[in-house]
Chains A and B, each alone.
Chain A
Amino acid sequence: MSGGPGRGLRGTAGALHPRWWLPTVVALAAAAVVWTLVARANPYVLPALGAVGDQLSTQPGFYLRNAAATLREALLGLLAGSVAAFALAVGISESGLLRRAVLPLVVVLNVTPVVAIAPALVVAFGFGILPKVLVTALITFFPVLMNTATGLRSVAPPVLQVFRTVHASRLDVLWRLRVPSALPYVFSSLRVVFPLSVVGAIVAEFSAAGSTQGLGTVISVASSNSQLDRVFAAIACLALMGSALLLVVALLERRVLSWHESQARPS
């Protein structure tokens, strides 16, 4: 192939070309065939794809309701975790004292598995939404903090010098230089934590045995009843949810970071 696969395949017309969609479709079909073969040989391990499809199509309301519950936990946790991380990153980039005080604590929190903390939070805060939001926030917090802190420090020295020669205030340097320079770093952490937030919500639901809703609850109840089709229907919902979140970040990133080299179309 000369000129690379990207050439001449831009826009909607490009997406309609078989060379664009055929590899994906073939790979998906192959995976479905393998799945079906394995499921046929081991009916008690893997449900047939048709059974999973039936679950989703006969009870869409049930899955939508539980997906909405999980999504709400994930998004609230994401919001809380990212905002707190961003604020702390600004704080530690401006104050060495704060950095030395807080960073060891944050690192300890990060190396502690969230799966281990979740049950403790459930004990403390009950079976409501709060412990789930907290777990998600915890899982989101560290990647955003570290990336943002690095990004805030990524302003090139000559740019800082130009601003210093006009006596720019710290706030000006922060707002006009550091924050925009940090955005590419923030987004690369968001790419990680958006899908991760779903993991946080599910882990919290697993830990809270008395929960009444959420896809994690659906999975733990259904698997203890050996309802494999239900388990995998919920898993499919989670996969879709994760992909949708990733898509949202990618679209947002393309908008906000149109100036950044990471957004240059491959040629």
Chain B
Amino acid sequence: MAATTERDASSIRVRHAGKTYGTGERATTALADVDLTVPRGRFVSVIGPSGCGKSTLLRLVAGLEEPDSGDVSIFGATAGEASAAKSIGFVPQVPALLPWLSVLDNVRVLDKVNRRAGRRRREAAGPAVAGCELAGDPVQLLTRLGLGDALDQRPGQLSGGMKQRTAIARAFALQPDVLLMDEPFSALDEFTREAVQLQLLDVWHETRTTVLFVTHSVTEAVLLSDTVVVMAARPGRIAAVLDIGLDRPRRHGHLDSDAMHACEHAVRAELEQAWVDVLPQEAR
């Protein structure tokens, strides 16, 4: 697969990735020739209308699907190698917790699978890196995410927001090289969503894990990210890449600032443009 050069090791790269579902007349091109680079330590959001292939892109990086063309490299490794090395943390749209385990055990459960890779990662990590302490301690991590009182509860007893925070803690606890999040807050109500977003930022600020975050909310993308990738549909492709220069740490006050509104406006303009581009194709 992809040649492993030193430059590759500093970022996640998707090169000329294409993915088509179905064959013949029914074929839909989910992704066409997508190029994306996510440097280590960045929080990158992917936003776009439904069917623009943003989830497909995430699944390619997660190694859950293979691209038909092009390749994916995660800090120099293929997606398959990265997942074998336990360096990918995945947060799906629904919390996907195990209902028979407590919150704490749900966060710990991935420690018990693929143990060999886990051991190798711990050895390779050597002396504790900044943020490792937090991510390495599930209790501390859950407490930080506001679940300190719910450690022994079962998922059935939790609210939607608490479940999703547990799923986020599970992914952070892996201490992965990259965290892939597929619209994790889309099922939450507005108030819960804002609270969880800020808790996510709080933990991320300490761990500085590389994040690829798929969302359909402009506000969410701007609030969380260093970079927003705008995608367009039919075929799924990248329409624009915008850097968000807002100061960190971002807190509640930022939600209403003019700078934030300006960024949102810029993202919306790109989204509209991407939408307009599709229309002539549909008329054909």
Contact = CB atoms under 8 A, between A and B. Distances in A.
Contacts of A261: 156
A166 B96 contact: no
A159 B110 CA distance: 11
A40 interface: no
A169 interface: yes
A17 B92 CA distance: 49
B98 interface: yes
Given A169-B113, A176-B113, A259-B154, A158 B96 contact: yes
- In the A-B complex, list the 5 residue pairs whose CB atoms are closest, starting with the nearest: A158-B96, A158-B92, A168-B113, A165-B90, A172-B113
Given A167-B117, A172-B114, A259-B101, 8 more contacts: A156-B94, A158-B96, A161-B90, A161-B96, A162-B96, A166-B83, A166-B86, A176-B112
A164 B83 contact: yes
A126 interface: no
B276 interface: no
Nearest to A264: B156
Contact of A158 (B89, B94, B156, B180): B94
Interface residues of A, number: 21
Nearest to B170: A162
A177 B90 CA distance: 17
A166 B92 contact: no
A58 B137 CA distance: 67
B148 interface: no
Chain A binding surface, main DSSP class: helix
Interface of A: 156, 158-159, 161-169, 172, 176-177, 180, 183, 259-261, 264
B99 A260 contact: yes
A254 to B, nearest CB: 14
B156 A259 contact: yes
Q: B84, B93, B98, B101 — which one has the most chain A CB atoms within 10 A of its CB?
A: B98
B191 interface: no
Interface string B101-117: 10000000110111001
Contact of A166 (B88, B97, B99, B154): B88
Interface string B134-163: 000000000000000000001010000000
Q: A158, A167, A172 — which one has the most chain B CB atoms within 10 A of its CB?
A: A167
Nearest to A259: B100
Given A161-B96, A180-B100, A259-B100, A168 B156 contact: no
B64 to A, nearest CB: 6
29 contacts: A156-B94, A158-B96, A161-B92, A162-B92, A162-B110, A162-B170, A164-B63, A164-B83, A165-B62, A165-B63, A165-B64, A165-B90, A165-B180, A166-B88, A166-B110, A166-B174, A167-B83, A167-B86, A167-B113, A167-B114, A167-B117, A168-B113, A168-B114, A172-B114, A176-B98, A177-B98, A259-B99, A259-B154, A259-B156
A263 to B, nearest CB: 10
A176 B114 CA distance: 12
